[in-house]
Amino acid sequence: MSATTALPAPSRPGAPVPRARRSNRRVVATSFTYAVLAVLAVLYVYPFLIQVATSFKTDAEAAQNAVSLIPQTWSTAAYERLFLRSDFPLWFRNSVIVTVVVTLGRVFINSLAGYALARLRFRGRGLVFAGLVAVMAVPNVVLLIPKFLVIKQVGIYNSFAGLIVPLLADAAGIFIMKNFFESIPPSVEEAARLDGAGTFRVFWSVVLPMARPAVVTLVILSFQGSWNELSHFIVASQDPDLVTLTKGVAQLASGQLSQGTQYPLKLAAAAIMTIPVAVLFFVFQKRIMNQSAGAVKE
Amino acid sequence: MSAAVTSPASAPVRRRRRPHGPGSARGRAAASGWLFLAPMLVILGLFLVVPVLMALWVSMSDWTGRGSPLSSDVSFVGMENYRSLLLGGGLATQDFGTAMRNNAYYVLLVVPLQTALALFLATMVNRRALRGRGFFRTAFYFPSVTSSVAITVLWLFLFSASGTINAILARLSISGPNWFNDPRGVLHLLLGAVGVDTAPESLAQHGFLGIPLWEWLAGPSVAMSALILLAIFTTSGTFMLLFLAALQAISSEVEEAAVMDGATAWQRFRRVTLPMLRPTVFTVVTLGLIGTWQVFDQIYTGTQGGPAKTTITPAYLSYSAAFQNNQWGRGAAIAFVLFAIIVLLTVLQRLVLRERDTVPRRKRFYRTPPAPPAALAGTVTAAGAPGAGTTTGTASATEGDDR
């Protein structure tokens, strides 16, 4: 919207401080900065390390030796149990299905809507836009009961459709696409139009391919969002065959499916569940970091 | 969370005059426009707009979950569900009051702490000369991308009686509390430490929302404190990125000018950087308020409201009233009260910040030459007329100027 709203300037490689200005005080300050950052980094990273480490411990060792990052006796019992003697693979499969379909659907539907709002002139467009903004303001948790009511009424309760369809469009994604389409010069479309391409053709073969950066952003956001979604899955089905990872692991954690503490088992489940988003994160790190910041700034 | 954070502000729509063909082309654009919007309209309409209307009906009915809420044997009870919740004085009111107290402490602690920590992290990793910036940013941001369920499972382990936190505390000869089983409020614990164990007459006698004032003063329970730490751990990274982006948008000339004027690092931060970050602070606090009043996943996965209802939140109460106890009317009523609270706080916070934000952002960034020396004396705030600032994130989305 203004200067702050521009994308962040690409970070320049660390410009070294001129030697002349380096005083003793500066060295002290720098060491202090690194010390503080190192402590904080340990606080942020250690929990994940202990998670992986504990998942390879035995139940007894997890309780007795909760601090060590190296198990005294390595045990893959937790993983064996998860994959061979539990519904975990089913949950994983369900999460994959839901996430893939939601991601593809969202990209398509949000792009269509974003393009229409950005480029097509027609009566009522402003109204739709205003409605979208209003809808965005409704908090998710408030919608739990109402969503359940409609899903039940429409007859898609306890089905994949119930898990997937309500997640297929989201206002935030539409805004991202709309903003991006607005930045593509209209002359591009005109050339295609003169060649006789219809509106959908122009959108599908000309504009959408140009919007790849926005599409990638949307893919990341949708994948992350639907993989990590919990509350919607809780209200959309009761069927044990449709349990997703988040729901399954949440039930595992609250002890409904297991006895005792079984921390290695629970932590292994949580760790595996984290892997897909972690991979996504590390592959698209730069983009994720920039878009999270950029989105609000735009 | 991610959806909220990425809620983009709409860019101002530039009106482009494109050569329009005769009427038919215009008509075609309209037809394809609606066609393009159709899937989105159907989905959002069906799963966002219709549900809200339906829940509004349910919140004023005596539906018990059997059959359709729209069938003829469900009757209209007006504001009865809201009345029993807010004024009834019975168990419903007490539970709601307890949930409000728990969540109020959660908000009161999480929002300022996560904002301050995020700002601190951002200023720390913003330095150009810092080695390993990428590593630090990744480390701080990673908890934000992982699922709330996975992190809660991890937290349950870390804060369990024999968990990592207590093991570390034990090495320091501190006997840690039984985090997720300790229902005592931390303020009561502090008061107990100075010898105040029982409620003074006036605090025990009077109450609000069905629970005595003394209970309102309990503070977050030990269990809730663990969840508060969890929230700070997972959200500070997200908000760090917002601050980071804002910091990078501040031109280095402004900083340099301040250095020239001999401002110390703290003065530069306090007088130059912080005022410029005000719109971002607004965004972060607003998103924080919206998020913290909705805490649900962690409660569902972790404590289920226990111990002794000290981690019940309105969002979880709404869910459990409807889905577990079949009190659909009450559950829907709680959801709407929660909605009202969130809207109210956001508006309130907006008003407060707008009043204080006297420097129009656009002027600061576009027209102000490198900060004049006077800036350090604080007079820069007089530079512009009020009113233009504070439009970021969700706020500006609400102002989307489209037609």
Query: B148-158 and A263-283 are packed helices; what angle lies between their axes, rounded to 10 degrees?
Result: 140
Give the amino acid at B130: L
Question: Does the pLDDT at position A110 exceed 90?
Answer: yes
Report yes or no: A101 and A164 within 8 Å, Cβ to Cβ: yes
Q: What is the pLDDT of residue B356?
A: 55
Look over chain B and give the mean of its residue pLDDT values, rounded to a whole number. 78
Q: How far is CA B154 from CA A290, B133, B151, in A?
A: 28, 26, 5
Cα distances (angstroms) measured from residue A61 to each of A52, A79, A104, B169: 14, 16, 43, 18
Helix (H, G, I), strand (E, B) or coil at B221: strand
Contact assignment for B323 to A41 by CB distance below 8 Å = no
Q: What are the φ/ψ torsions at residue B196 (nearest 5 degrees)?
A: -95, 100
Give pLDDT tens digits for B309-337: 889 999 999 999 988 888 888 899 999 99
Q: What is the pLDDT of residues B2-48, one digit of tens each?
A: 444 444 444 444 444 444 444 566 677 778 888 888 888 888 888 88
Chain A residue at shortest CA distance from B55: A146
Mean pLDDT along residues A152-156? 87
CB atoms B365 and A234 under 8 Å: no
Q: What are A21-68's pLDDT values in tens digits?
A: 557 777 888 888 889 999 999 999 999 999 999 999 988 888 888 888
Q: Which residues of B touch A200 (CB under 8 A)?
A: 32
Which of B147, B180, B235, B336 should one mutate to test binding to chain A, selecting the residue with the greatest count of A CBs within 10 A?
B147
Q: What are the angstrom distances between the C-alpha of B115 and each of A221, A288, B90, B367? A: 23, 20, 37, 29
The tokens describing A261, both together, are 């503490």
Q: According to the model, what pLDDT value does residue A246 have?
A: 92
The reply to whether omega before B307 is within 30° of 0 (cis) is yes
Task: Please name the helix (run of DSSP H) or strand (run of DSSP E) that holds residue B212, with its range, or none.
Answer: strand B211-212
Identify the closest residue of chain B to A55 by CA–CA distance. B154
Calculate what percentage of chain B has a pLDDT beyond 90. Answer: 22
- Token digits of residue B61: 């009915």
B24 touches chain A (CB under 8 A): no
**Mean pLDDT, chain A, whole residue set:** 83
pLDDT tens digits for range B351-366:
876 655 554 444 444 4
Tokens 């006036």, residue located: B202
Q: CB count, 10 Å around CB of A28?
A: 10
- Greater pLDDT, A284 or B22: A284
Whether chain A has a CB inside 8 Å of the CB on B306: the answer is no
State the pLDDT at residue A145.
87
Instruction: Considering only residues A213 and A98, tell me which one the structure prediction assigns the higher pLDDT.
Output: A98
Residue B222, φ and ψ in degrees, nearest 5 = -60, -40
- For B161, counting Cβ atoms within 10 Å of its Cβ (0-12 exposed, 13-18 middle, 19+ buried), the class is middle
> Residue B248 and residue A11: Cβ atoms within 8 Å?
yes
Tell which residue, A161, A176, A183, has the closest CA to residue A110: A176
The Cα B349–Cα B60 span in angstroms is 30
By the 8 A CB rule, do B76 and B61 touch? yes
User: Is 80 exceeded by the pLDDT of residue B56?
Assistant: yes
- First-last CA distance in chain A: 6
Quick one: pLDDT at residue B232? 95
Query: Looking at residue B5, what is its pLDDT?
Result: 42
Which of A215, A193, A196 lies closest to A115 in space, CA to CA? Answer: A215
Q: Is the pLDDT of residue A176 over 70?
A: yes
- In terms of residues, how long is chain A? 298
Whole-model pTM: value is: 0.81
